Amino acid sequence: MTENLSILGSTGSIGTQALSVCEKLGIRVSALTANSNIGLLEQQVRKFRPKLAVIGTKALAEDLRIRIADTDTKVSFGIDGLCEAAMIDEADTVLTAVVGMVGLKPTLTAIRAHKNIALANKETLVAGGSLVMSEAEKEGVRIYPVDSEHSAVFQCLQSCPDKKLLKKLILTASGGPFFGKTRDELKDVTVEQALNHPNWSMGAKITIDSATMMNKGLEVIEARWLFDVPVENIDVVVHRESIIHSMIEYCDNSVIAQLGVPDMKIPIQYALTYPDRYSCDVGVLELAKIGKLTFFEPDYETFRCLTACKKAMAKGGTATAIVNGANEEAVRLFLDRKISFLDIGEIVNNAFDSIESRTVTSLDDVLDADRAAREFVKGIG
Ligand code: NDP
Ligand code: MG
């Protein structure tokens, strides 16, 4: 069980829920990081008294230093600050809960400093999965999934004595706010409509990814790396109620599922307490009240991001970093109301078709591919 945690992205949806888990379980917190939310970071510093607080820019760091001058917390900033938080001596585990592939370098830094990783930041594995998993193996570090589907698979796998007995992973998808809609009906979707997720309350980027189903594509790639299962053995099924969080199928066609109310505190807590379990401040699952659970095939024609992710994973190399980088930029443009909802899928597919995939041998290969994808998208805009 985690005794001392460094949280990258402490002011976000995952970060704030992780802090309430830490508070309840008495897990100490040695580092907290934010990008720009200085007010919340200051409150968190006052409450949790970490050794280090990190913020996005030098100017914000100067402001934060003045605000918390009465505490013993040191202040750093930028990517170097994130890496400092990732390798802080006191922490045994680093929770990566920043949004986007900016988390890749700090995650590698944490692994090299022999920290276990509680991984929420899926873009890190999508962009640099081969690097992260091989470093983790080399350093003997564990990566515990926080993403609810991957936590579900991880929990189901506790009953799997031999990986050879495993046939498939079945990831569930809520289908987001636009399930069942045609492309024609999605032409004029607004930012507000796309941010209105039916089951989960999350940060803006992942909420848009859920609406385009890019999120499920990213999760297929994330699962491929976390569980070392070929992508053709990872299925996606739309399950509107978000009660079954994912499943595994054995060679005898027996299926094991993990269920619960849709609340990220369960997977966050399990990643921090594995292999132990403690009571958790979430609702009880009352199946009779829910009545029925429904399942559908995903619509790959309408939700083209999902298709792009599957193609990128099959291609390998930097292709997944390219679709991820293009998506991060496209989502930013959509949130800024510069492109339409359907443009996101078009852009991600065009980036995949237009930018050559290379073999990944180093972090620079991934960063170059990410940069190329972002420049491609900016060139369109
Ligand atoms: P949020 O947008 O709510 O929070 C993101 C956090 O990262 C904030 O602390 C933010 O700081 C910080 N941050 C943002 N941009 C940067 C940057 N460029 N450099 C450094 N820090 C940055 O995101 P979520 O908590 O929703 O998601 C975090 C990660 O977890 C994502 O990868 C997401 O896909 C994954 N995830 C989230 C789930 C959820 O339920 N929310 C479920 C499963 C996975 P600030 O507040 O100052 O902007
Ligand atoms: Mg998920």
- pLDDT, one tens digit per residue, over 100-109 is 999 999 999 9
Whether residue 372 is predicted with pLDDT greater than 90 in this model: the reply is yes
Q: Is the CB of 34 under 6 A from ligand 1?
A: yes
Alpha-carbon span 115 to 127, nearest angstrom:
20
Pocket perturbation via mutation, ligand 1, pick of 54, 98, 335 by most ligand atoms within 8 A of CB: 98
Q: What percent of the chain has pLDDT over 70?
A: 100
Going by pLDDT thresholds of 50, 70 and 90, the confidence category of residue 312 is very high
Q: Is the CB of 54 under 6 A from ligand 1?
A: no
Q: Find the ligand nearest to 262 CA.
A: 1
Which of 270, 273, 265 is CA-nearest to residue 2?
Answer: 273
Q: Pick the atom of ligand 1 nearest to 98's CA.
A: 7
Pocket perturbation via mutation, ligand 1, pick of 14, 109, 117 by most ligand atoms within 8 A of CB: 14
Whether residue 199 is predicted with pLDDT greater than 90 in this model: the reply is no
Predicted TM-score (pTM) of the model is: 0.97
Q: Considering the chain, what is the average pLDDT of its residues?
A: 97
Whether residue 379 is predicted with pLDDT greater than 90 in this model: the reply is no
Q: What percent of the chain has pLDDT over 90?
A: 97
pLDDT computed for residue 179 by the predictor: 96
Q: Please compute the mean of the pLDDT values over residues 327-343 and round it to a whole number.
A: 97
Whether residue 192 is predicted with pLDDT greater than 80 in this model: the reply is yes
Q: Please compute the mean of the pLDDT values over residues 310-321 and round it to a whole number.
A: 96
Alpha-carbon span 170 to 245, nearest angstrom:
9
Whether residue 210 is predicted with pLDDT greater than 70 in this model: the reply is yes
pLDDT computed for residue 201 by the predictor: 84
Q: How far is ligand 1, taken at its centre, from the CA of residue 178, in Å?
A: 23
Confirm if 94 and 117 have CB atoms less than 8 A apart: yes
pLDDT computed for residue 200 by the predictor: 80
Q: Is the CB of 98 under 6 A from ligand 1?
A: yes
Residue 90 contacts by C-beta under 8 Å, 6 or more apart in sequence?
A: 4, 28, 30, 51
Going by pLDDT thresholds of 50, 70 and 90, the confidence category of residue 381 is low
SS3 string of the chain?
CCCEEEEECCCCHHHHHHHHHHHHHCCEEEEEECCCCHHHHHHHHHHHCCCEEEECCHHHHHHHHHHCCCCCCEEEEHHHHHHHHHCCCCCCEEEECCCCHHHHHHHHHHHHCCCEEEECCHHHHHHHHHHHHHHHHHHCCCEEECCHHHHHHHHHHCCCCCHHHEEEEEEEECCCCCCCCCCHHHCCCCHHHHCCCCCCCCCHHHHHHHHHCHHHHHHHHHHHHHHCCCHHHEEEEECCCCCEEEEEEECCCCEEEEECCCCCHHHHHHHHHCCCCCCCCCCCCCHHHHCCCCCECCCCCCCHHHHHHHHHHHHCCCHHHHHHHHHHHHHHHHHCCCCCHHHHHHHHHHHHHHCCCCCCCCHHHHHHHHHHHHHHHHHHC
Length of the chain in terms of residues written: 381
Q: Is the CB of 121 under 6 A from ligand 1?
A: yes
Among the ranges given (33-42, 192-201, 301-310), the one the predictor scored with the smallest mean pLDDT: 192-201
Q: How far is ligand 2, taken at its centre, from the CA of residue 342, in Å?
A: 22
Going by pLDDT thresholds of 50, 70 and 90, the confidence category of residue 86 is very high
Q: Please compute the mean of the pLDDT values over residues 117-128 and round it to a whole number.
A: 98
Going by pLDDT thresholds of 50, 70 and 90, the confidence category of residue 161 is confident
- Residue-wise pLDDT for 43-66, tens only, equals 999 999 999 999 999 999 999 999
Q: Please compute the mean of the pLDDT values over residues 86-93 and round it to a whole number.
A: 98
281-to-25, 261, 278 alpha-carbon distances in Å: 11, 11, 10
